[in-house]
Amino acid sequence: MLHEYRDLITELKGKNARFDSLFEKHNELDHKVADITEGRVHASSFELDTLKKEKLKAKDEINAFLAEYKASIKE
């Protein structure tokens, strides 16, 4: 996830509670989606789609957070 921002993610982890929360939420959703798609957990297609949408929303929020942070350190 977000490999192009690896350095920024490492820099932010533990320094910003909101970022930590978003990052943890995305990772949890990623594991849930993987468990379902790999057959370890049963869920309906609706449930899977809902999890995927939540994961995408978290990723979008992380991207926005990282872009804002990156812009602020250039100033």
pTM metric for this prediction: 0.85
The HSE-up count of residue 48 (CA atoms within 13 Å, CB side) is: 12
Q: Which tens digits make up the pLDDT trace of 47-75? A: 999 999 999 999 999 999 999 988 988 76
Reduced to 3 states, what is the DSSP secondary structure of residue 15? coil
**Domain of residue 30, residue span:** 3-74
Q: Which tens digits make up the pLDDT trace of 29-42? A: 999 999 999 999 99
* Number of separate domains in the chain: 1
The pLDDT value recorded for residue 44 is 97
Calpha distance 11→41 (Å, rounded): 34
List the alpha helices (DSSP H) in the chain: 6-12, 17-37, 45-74
Calpha distance 34→41 (Å, rounded): 9
Q: Which tens digits make up the pLDDT trace of 12-24? A: 899 999 999 999 9
Calpha distance 4→31 (Å, rounded): 21
